[in-house]
Structure 1
């Protein structure tokens, strides 16, 4: 099996997005349920979904040969998303920016940085769980996410609800800030951009800040 997953295979792929968003930190605040229970509104055949997942992610050899998505977006920016057995790892220009899993590190992208990928709908959805927002930014992002979720079969009728729950998991305790000599940082636990808590990431954050500023332009 080819380890690289063409990004086109994610288009309108109900099984993939149902699987993927279960890794996010989303939740329904009113019903007090996590995203995996939220996504039960997406009606899929569980047996077929399990069989698809087993093949698609190469479960028989996932430890040695995990599958991944990777693309070069510009001469200065590329990304990779690697699907390990117990976590999903994210890279920009081969630099680690976080993961979804038991020991997650998220809240990397700002809202503006995420929206710079809007011409790449599947990529925007992939990067969504790695984004950090403030409560007052939800009304900006929610209709955009809802629009993209509507394109996924079986998500259409619940897209507004699912978008709301996913965005609940993106809200940060405090906003991103400009740090002199570094660029954008934050004070959020479990974020690579929190260089106070994780100084080992400082040089990587400086480099990525420069690349992401250029990409937004």
Structure 2
């Protein structure tokens, strides 16, 4: 049991380290800040920001490790060809987007917003690092959305790693205008663009906004 948890933890550390490093280097290449430059000028704001980040990281790691460790029993051992792998990656992403869209709309309801999601919306001008400026409950439920497809699809470890890597990476990148700005618009207007990466369900349910 301990060795299995340790193995799960190492896989999760590798995935998150790879995603964060990639996001950081993309920002370096684009010559855009990874963290809000204003935090370097105001010590009180900086301390508050980093305090929240350090409170968030342990729950993220623990929750992801436990969810991965539990859900890994559902991984298929069957070998897939390239076409099957591609199809399952697409399906995995669609399920993530649907799960997160529903969750995200629910927590924007006034009865839940303040207690769960308001922390993440303290910043209307966002930078990639703001992706993990969230409360513990919020980040746990976000991580849960990333694992829901495992219980629906019979995917393998490779597909899981690819999808989680992509979604953690783009979770950071989406908090900027490097590739697209639909999540930047969400932080300004609140009632639009609830999807994580691909706004398919925003388009379907008429909550997509392309411009401010």
Settle same-fold status: TM greater than 0.5: no
From the two aligned structures, give the one with the greater helix fraction.
2
Larger RCO, structure (CA 8 Å, separation 6 or more): 2
* TM-score, L = length of structure 2: 0.27
* TM-score, L = length of structure 1: 0.27
